[in-house]
Structure 1
Amino acid sequence: MTLFGFHCSQEQIAPSQLLADVKHAEQAGFDAAMSSDHFMPWSENQGHSGFTLSWLGAALAQTTFPIGSVCAPGQRYHPALIAQATATLGEMFPERYWVALGAGQNMNEHVTADKWLPLEQRRDRLEEAVDIIRRLHQGEWISRHSGYVEVEDAYLYDRPAQGVPLLATCITPESARRAAGWAEGMITLNQPGGAHRDTLKAYRDAGGRGSAFLQVHLSWADTYKQAVETARHQWSANVFGPPLDQDLATPAHFDTAAGEVSAETVLDAVWTSAEPDQHVEWLSAAAEDFDAVYIHHVGQHQKPFIDTFGEKVLPQLKGT
């Protein structure tokens, strides 16, 4: 049975409000949650970027359902510290936390002032980071490691009994095929023309194991006009594919690029409707291929969305 989760958008909502929102989402009937991880928002219109790893401790402590997060180890985060942080969350909240690892985006990683590497080198660095994290999670003492990152005498004294699933973030079939060699599951996002299914197929065809999750960007409001306005205001800077979305450095860069984005392009990326039944149709179709669907209403005010979907959408999706 597919789980339907609530996406916690750190780049759009202040951490204190987002904590209230995720608690509300659990009460409204969502099965799980997932969180983004940003140092900067995509756009000045979004205007937030709470520290995800701090927020996760509070969110897991004040809810009972599973919560996962994305993370890009290797530049902004040293993989040994990510191993420690994720192991601590896993030890405190057994079998409730997973992490999806990716190669990162310049907008979040450039703050270290380290060189932003070409894509293939970033993928190599990610696989190196995954290996370090997994070895530390398994209780290995790493006396010395040299590569894209350096490790010396690293060991985790507190580890979860059941481990923390290390998933992959995959947007393209190419990234999915490569991730199939190391990931314990994968997560992708809805793309125009159903391209997310091509990404999932590439992962499975390459031998990818574990659960497959889908993050869906959607916009709902009382009227279609309001839903469209919300999507355009909040998500016009988020519709770019590689390499633009990976290489631009600041919200100002994304906002400048978004000036040329049409309403049609935004609506291709964001499932937009004022009708709950339309969202049921879209999400039901998505659930046919994925083990969990994480629903991201791209607006900054989540309560009306949570209440409406809790009353009119989730019961239909769950067959009740």
Structure 2
Amino acid sequence: MIKIGYHASHEQFSPKALLQFAQRAENNGFDLVTSSDHFHPWTEKDAHSGFAWSWLGAAMQAVNLEFGIVTSPAPRYHPAIIAQAVATLNQMFDNRLWIAAGSGQAMNENITGELWPNKDTRNQRLAESVSIMRRLWKGEEVSADGIVKLANAKLYTLPTAMPQVVGAALSAATASWIGTWAEGLITINHPDDKLKKIIKAFRTENPAGDMAIKIQVSFADSLNDAEQLAWESWRNNILGSSIQAELSQPKFFDEAGQFVRADDMKEHVLLGTSADTYIYAIQKYREMGFSKITFHNVNPHQEAFIDMMGSDVLPRVR
């Protein structure tokens, strides 16, 4: 059985609006809500940057669904603090929260003023962070003296069960690596040939792990409107993972995004005007082996999209 999710994008909407969208998603029959975790948004235009962890406490009280958050446990945070936050939320809300851990992007993590490390160092830091969090969730007293420093830390409020940690991957190389330590994979709707390579790389290391995908879509009355709305709202997000990891401020993304054409959005965002587009996507990704399929409508029209999914899509794919 697959779970269909709604993605709450803190870079695009206010926390209050996202809470209302999450409630609407539950009322329309979605199974889960995923959340981004940004300090800076992708653009300076009509942007937001609410604190995801505060929002989760309110959202999980208001919405009785499974939640997932895509986060980097260091260096903007310390992994011990993320471990404490996850433990607290899962103790209150019956282990309904899982995390997708990534190596981070300069736009969020570089606010600490530290030297932004290369990808190999970021990966090592991520692996150390996940190991620390898992030990803390078991109730161990933990010290560490690697890239991540920690002295005699112990959680006294533990989660009701061991939280699931999946790895975020945008390439086959990263998918292969996270298959060695993560319980699952989360990625986005790449072109099919690239996505199949990511799946194969992960499955080679982890044949039984869960797989989740966040599908970036633009829903509108016409394909031209869907394309234009996607370009206006999301063009800064299709610059490539290497560039996106290195740019440190929204204004830099705006400068780079001016070279993206509206026609370029077709490769990165699923454009659709009717339920059939989204039903086909669910069927395709389910056949690829994804057990969680989350939709991120990248344009402003969230209510119309959520209602369409509830009335025309979800009843037909159950």
Instruction: Identify the range of structure 1 (227-236 vs 282-291) with the bigger mean alpha-carbon deviation.
Output: 282-291
Distance in 2, Cα, partners of 1:147 & 1:265: 42
| Structure-1 residue corresponding to 2:148 | 149
| Structure-2 residue corresponding to 1:236 | 235
Give the deviation of 1:37 after TM superposition. 0.5
| Structure-1 residue corresponding to 2:262 | 263
Instruction: Identify the range of structure 1 (211-220 vs 261-270) with the bigger mean alpha-carbon deviation.
Output: 261-270
| Structure-2 residue corresponding to 1:185 | 184
| Structure-2 residue corresponding to 1:163 | 162
Per the alignment, do residues 234 and 24 of structure 1 end up closer, same or farther by CA in structure 2, a change over 3 Å counting? same
Per the alignment, do residues 298 and 194 of structure 1 end up closer, same or farther by CA in structure 2, a change over 3 Å counting? farther
Give the deviation of 1:279 after TM superposition. 2.1
| Aligned alpha-carbon RMSD (Å) | 1.2
- Which runs of 5 or more residues in structure 1 are unaligned? none
SS in 2 for 1:219: strand
Give the deviation of 1:163 after TM superposition. 1.6
| Structure-2 residue corresponding to 1:296 | 296
| Structure-1 residue corresponding to 2:213 | 214
Preserved CA contact (<8 Å) 2:170 2:241? no
Preserved CA contact (<8 Å) 1:11 1:46? no
Kindly indicate whether residue 197 of structure 2 is the aligned counterpart of residue 204 of structure 1: no
SS in 1 for 2:180: coil
Mapping of 1:48-87 within 5 angstroms? 48-87=48-87
What do residues 204-237 of structure 1 show as CA deviations (whole Å, max 9, x unaligned)? 1123542110100000012222211110001100
Per the alignment, do residues 93 and 194 of structure 1 end up closer, same or farther by CA in structure 2, a change over 3 Å counting? farther
Runs of 4+ in 1 over 3 A off after TM superposition: none
Preserved CA contact (<8 Å) 1:180 1:209? no
Counterpart of 2:205, as a letter, is A
Preserved CA contact (<8 Å) 1:79 1:129? yes
SS in 2 for 1:98: strand
SS in 2 for 1:168: strand
Could you tell me the TM-score, scaled by structure 2's length?
0.97
| Structure-2 residue corresponding to 1:139 | 139
Distance in 1, Cα, partners of 2:180 & 2:303: 40
SS in 1 for 2:241: coil
Give the deviation of 1:46 after TM superposition. 4.5
Distance in 2, Cα, partners of 1:303 & 1:61: 21
Per the alignment, do residues 151 and 239 of structure 1 end up closer, same or farther by CA in structure 2, a change over 3 Å counting? same
Distance in 2, Cα, partners of 1:208 & 1:141: 32
Instruction: Identify the range of structure 1 (11-20 vs 254-263) with the bigger mean alpha-carbon deviation.
Output: 254-263
| Structure-1 residue corresponding to 2:25 | 25
What do residues 260-310 of structure 1 show as CA deviations (whole Å, max 9, x unaligned)? 112232111000021221221122211222001001111123111111111
Preserved CA contact (<8 Å) 1:26 1:65? yes
Preserved CA contact (<8 Å) 2:227 2:263? no
Counterpart of 1:184, as a letter, is E
Distance in 2, Cα, partners of 1:110 & 1:121: 14
- Which runs of 5 or more residues in structure 2 are unaligned? none
What do residues 181-205 of structure 1 show as CA deviations (whole Å, max 9, x unaligned)? 1101111111124422321221111
Give the deviation of 1:161 after TM superposition. 2.3
SS in 1 for 2:214: strand
